Amino acid sequence: MLEQTLNPPLEVDRGSYWAPYFTYFPAMSRYLPTGVYAQQVRPRACVLGASDGKFALPLLRAGWEVVGVETDELFLDGGELDLVDGRHEVVGLRKRLADEGLEDRCTIVEQDYMTLPADGEFQFVMGSGLWSMPPNRHHTLQALFDHAMGMVAPGGIFFADWLIGLNPEERACGYYPGLEEMGRIVARDGWEVFENTDLGIYGESHLGFEQWHYHRYAAIVAHRFHAAAG
Ligand SMILES: C[S@@+](CC[C@H](N)C(=O)[O-])C[C@H]1O[C@@H](n2cnc3c(N)ncnc32)[C@H](O)[C@@H]1O
């Protein structure tokens, strides 16, 4: 039965290890076709750092085709994590897709996304919580965003959850810009920035940073104009 609503909001997948952590994704999803349009047209999304499916699974359930780019085998194949807040069982993305019969519409690419073509293939490209991770520090934040935005097709949407620096080290390293600096990073011809927003400070502990700490979350949503009619 087809969902008749134009675009019902998407929630994150509650079964993901990363589900409890803040994201602007549910609010941002109002820009995406998620109802009958998505089920009929099957637009294509690329989730950078797809992990165990926090964003890929809701997009797939809504009808999207998804390319999930991820380099961490634990989140693709599953396993156990012993952290300061206890043991976590990670059900990998592959099993989660198979359990719901979604594997035919999701391509997993086990590569650094910076090695993939950036030739405007996707109606939606997103990344959340990955920009400052160690492998990405081989590139400037400008290069990381240029590449990700280059993957967006004309008419498509780019979305990033990113972090604003909260202390001198973060502010100095180049991966935690302020709103103005992020505005300069994403500014380019043929695009309109829909939102560039400070979303406030959240406390958290997680894999990779288990000590209780704080992040100032922010989100950018940008629209690539449709190609001019010829
Ligand atoms: C901290 S997790 C966050 C997961 C989820 N996106 C979220 O926000 O809840 C970021 C994921 O991005 C992946 N990642 C980081 N940089 C990447 C890159 N350049 N290419 C592919 N995956 C990457 C990491 O392996 C990790 O699983």
- Tens of pLDDT, residue by residue over 135-181, are 999 999 999 999 999 999 999 999 999 999 999 999 999 999 999 99
Contact criterion met (CB below 8 Å) for 203 and 179? no
**In this structure, which residue's CA is closest to atom 12 in ligand 1?**
49
Q: List residues bridging with 66 in a β-sheet.
A: 45, 106
Q: Is 122 in the pocket of ligand 1 (CB under 6 A)?
A: no
Residue whose CA is closest, atom 14 of ligand 1?
49
State whether the beta carbon of 67 lies less than 6 angstroms from ligand 1: no
86: how many CB neighbours lie within 10 A of its CB?
7
Judge contact between 68 and 110, C-beta under 8 A: no
75 lines ligand 1 (CB under 6 A): yes
**Counts of helices then strands in the chain (DSSP H, E):** 8, 9
pLDDT tens for residues 20-62? 999 999 999 999 999 999 999 999 999 999 999 999 999 999 9
Kindly give the distance from the C-alpha atom of residue 47 to the centroid of ligand 1, in angstroms, as a whole number.
9
C-beta of 25 in contact with ligand 1 (< 6 A):
no
Instruction: State the pTM of this model.
Output: 0.96
The residues pairing with 159 across neighbouring beta strands, listed in sequence order, are 126, 221
| 3-class DSSP assignment, residue 28 | helix
Q: What is the pLDDT of residues 12-28, one digit of tens each?
A: 999 999 999 999 999 99
Q: Predicted confidence band at 226 (pLDDT cuts at 50, 70, 90)?
A: very high
Rounded to the nearest whole angstrom, what is the distance from the C-alpha of residue 42 to the centroid of ligand 1? 24
pLDDT at 149: 98
* Ligand 1 neighbour 123 (Cβ under 6 A): no
pLDDT (tens digit per residue) in 68-99? 999 999 999 999 999 999 999 999 999 999 99
Kindly report the protein residue whose alpha carbon is nearest to atom 15 of ligand 1.
130
Whose Cα sits closest to atom 25 in ligand 1?
72
For residue 3, how far is its CA from the centre of ligand 1 (angstroms)? 31
CB of 96 closer than 6 angstroms to any ligand 1 atom: no
Stretch 97-103: mean pLDDT: 98
Give CA–CA dist 135/9, Å, rounded. 32
- Domains of the chain (ranges; CATH) run 42-111 (3.40.50.150), 121-230 (3.40.50.150)
